[in-house]
Structure 1
Amino acid sequence: MAAATNGTNGVHNGVNGSAHAVSRPLTPGIYAPIPTFFLPGSEDLDLEALSAHIVRTANAGVLPLLAGSMGEGIHLTHSERVTLIKTARKALDSAGLTRIPIVAGTGTGSTRETVELCREAAEAGADYAIVIASGYFAGVLAGSKKALKAFWSEVAEKSPIPVIIYNYPGASGGIDLDSDLITELAQECPNLAGVKLTCGNVGKLTRIAATVSDPSFASLYPRKNPNAPFLVLGGFIDFLLPSSYANAHGAITGLANVAPYSSVKLFQLSEAVHKDPSLLPEAQRLQAIVGRADFTIAKASISGTKALMEKLYGYGGVPRKPLPPIEPEAFEALWAHPHVQDIVRVERELSGKIAS
């Protein structure tokens, strides 16, 4: 079994299992947790929709994350996760986007199976893994710093690809890593490549970024893969501009599935304003539109996001059961909401400018 083990991040092409040396660094920016699309009736994977969406978002500058929460990773088998990764890699390569990295969700119940999924993801063509702690035994784990630290330490040590910590209390039984623990993991585990903070705790983000974004961190705590620095990423995009001032590195946001150009533009403005303060009013204006849309659409969850994609792009569908689809009346209210209409208007403006 070949895997990504060297400093240049040699990876598989995800199609026929042969390895090739393509460097796909983990960079600051906007990442989208890509939904998993299902065929009506059978709930089989809709790989045509996945391929179209991966290329659509990548062309807007958004980087893909497969089999995360939005991707219903908990509803997928091992073989389905592998199929998603291979399909995404093939779609990106066929579109000439060979240098776009793939992040894959590999968190599951036990440490053993999580490591197994990391290996399978690497073999399928994933460049990075993102790992959440299972909440099934949260009553034991949430209060045990030692157990939580051991989980990510072992996974990072045994994974053939760099690992991102996924901190999402709402999906892990309330397990919420504090800034001290995340910082310790970053310092002690050279194969950890970042953290996604879906806890929405801006203070936590600021404290972690203060350590890992300090110029001394890279020399004191070098990464196993120099192309995979430790990134601090928000789990929402509604605080992207202020997080940029705290030296964080972007966001992994479901909104980027609905409004990829708007999300990327906000990131670009948030970075550019450091050199050109005259851009701050425009960055603040767009942050307000994006932040309101993020909050409103996130409340509609996976089913609402998929329904919006169906309306806008012609694909999206419904979640895999037992998750229910959004009720028609609720979707009509979501679509008509001024926050949604504002982001749709901005997205059409930005995508039209780039297309022209």
Structure 2
Amino acid sequence: MAVNGINGTNGVAHRSSSRVVKPGIYAPIPTFFKPGSEDLDISPFEAHVVRLAKAGVNPLLAGSMGEGHHLTHRERTTLIRAARRVLDAEGLTEVPIIAGTGAGSTRETVELCKEAAAAGADSAIVIASGYFAGVLAGHKQALKAFWREVSQESPIPVIIYNYPGAAGGIDLDSEIITELACECPNLSGVKLTCGNVGKLTRICATISDPSFESLYPRKNPKAPFLVLGGFTDFLVPSAFANAHGAITGLANVAPATIARLFQLAEASVSDRSVLPEAQRLQGIVARGDFTIAKAGISGTKFLLEKLYGYGGLPRKPLPPIDADVAQALWEHPDTIALVKVERELSGKLQS
């Protein structure tokens, strides 16, 4: 495998061409903390990364679900190294790692991209800071300049993270995203946590056109520009729009189910005989996504505790989920239906 030099200052070689983000399902992995101290709890983190990877779901570290905003630079790189180490130890050497590298300034974002690459990340995902959203939200050129400079300076490909809820309401439209994709060869995708299916369709109309690759080649030819949803409630429609999968918090709770839905959605584009099953599973997943997403990070961690025996609390000042709300979430028909399917599918994987 080719080695494209040494990144960062710690002498770690990063094989930037060996692993790339491909179409599929990615989960923003929660960061687990030790009770009381709130220090990183690496053991359940490693177990969870492996559990998901074996189910066909790839990791995104230090994202919104991973409380990246609450992590120091050192903690972010600790998580990346731990994930790479445990994946390799399990023989999952080709599983790529996406790392959240969003920060307040362009300068710090670039710094985080370089640190992530040196630690073993294969791609970065970058959100605009919402602190000065009042200035940035309506300033198209400033927003484009941010991702242009970050992608130019990053040693690994960069994914645009469009999440208005975590960026002070900054919501990139399809025009800005498409222009960035055409103008910045080290951009390798977008995650649309805005949940806008029309926007996804418009972007795919350009990105997935056969001419795009030749007109706008990527810096790394093996890392194409991917259009990824931020939820799983529209995986089937997005497959028919020629999108490339999703980065979704729900895959932490039901990895085998989400991976199976993606497979069915992709297959149904050319084989209509599997479309009814894809639509059936899509309905279960869409209802589960709607219900569980509202419970946020603390709700996801609660469900992981119930299902797998680890989860814990978010880092302060995020509050834990209220006990009554947690019980209602666990007993909700949408959660019950999703957990039932997940247990059935994960049992087949293990048998």
- State the Cα distance separating 1:226 from its structure 2 match: 1.0
Q: Does 1:121 align with 2:155?
A: no
User: What secondary structure, in the 3-state scheme, does the structure 1 residue paired with 2:130 have?
Assistant: coil
Residue 114 of structure 1, CA deviation:
0.2
1:110 equivalent in alignment to 2:105: yes
Q: Which residue of 2 aligns with 1:218?
A: 213
Question: Between Structure 1 and Structure 2, how many residues are aligned?
Answer: 349
Corresponding residue number in structure 1 for 2:245: 250
Cα distance in structure 1, aligned partners of 2:13 and 2:225: 28
User: What is the Cα deviation at residue 25 of structure 1?
Assistant: 2.2
SS at match of 1:126: coil
Separation in structure 2 between the aligned mates of residue 100 and residue 288 of structure 1, nearest angstrom: 29
> Residue 23 of structure 2 contacts residue 226 of structure 2 at CA under 8 Å; is this kept in 1?
yes
3-state secondary structure, aligned to 1:42? coil
Q: Does 1:134 align with 2:138?
A: no
Distance 1:202 1:19, change over 3 A: closer
State the shift of 1:275 in Å.
2.2
2:25 matches 1:25: no
Q: 1:19 to 1:284 in 2, by over 3 A?
A: closer
Are 1:35 and 2:25 matched, yes or no?
no
Q: Identity of paired residues, percent?
A: 73
How far has the Cα of 1:221 moved from its partner?
A: 0.2
1:88 equivalenced with 2:83 (yes/no)? yes
Structure 1: stretches of 5+ with no match in the other structure? none
Deviations 1:30-73 (A, max 9, x none): 00000000011100000001100000000000010000000000
Structure 2 unmatched runs, 5+: none
Q: How far is the alpha carbon of 1:24 from its aligned partner?
A: 1.0
Offset of residue 18 of structure 1 = 4.3
Deviation of 1:336 (Å): 0.1
The answer to whether structure 1 residue 235 and structure 2 residue 238 are counterparts is: no
Following superposition of structure 1 onto structure 2, how do residues 272-283 of structure 1 map, counting pairs within 5 Å? 272-283=267-278
Paired with 1:163 and 1:233, the residues of 2 have a C-alpha distance of: 13
Q: Does 1:269 align with 2:293?
A: no
Corresponding position of 2:62: 67
Aligned to 1:227, the other structure's residue is in SS state coil
What's the TM-score once normalised by structure 2's chain length? 0.97
Q: How far apart are the structure 2 equivalents of 1:276 and 1:11? A: 45
CA-CA distance at 1:26 after TM superposition: 1.5
Runs of 4 or more consecutive aligned structure 1 residues displaced over 3 Å after TM superposition: 8-12, 18-22
1:303 aligned to 2:298? yes
Q: Distance in 1 between matches of 2:6 and 2:229?
A: 27
Amino acid at match of 2:195: G
Residues in 1 aligned to 2:236 and 2:6: alpha-carbon distance in whole angstroms: 33
Distance 1:264 1:10, change over 3 A: farther
Q: 1:316 — aligned with what?
A: 311
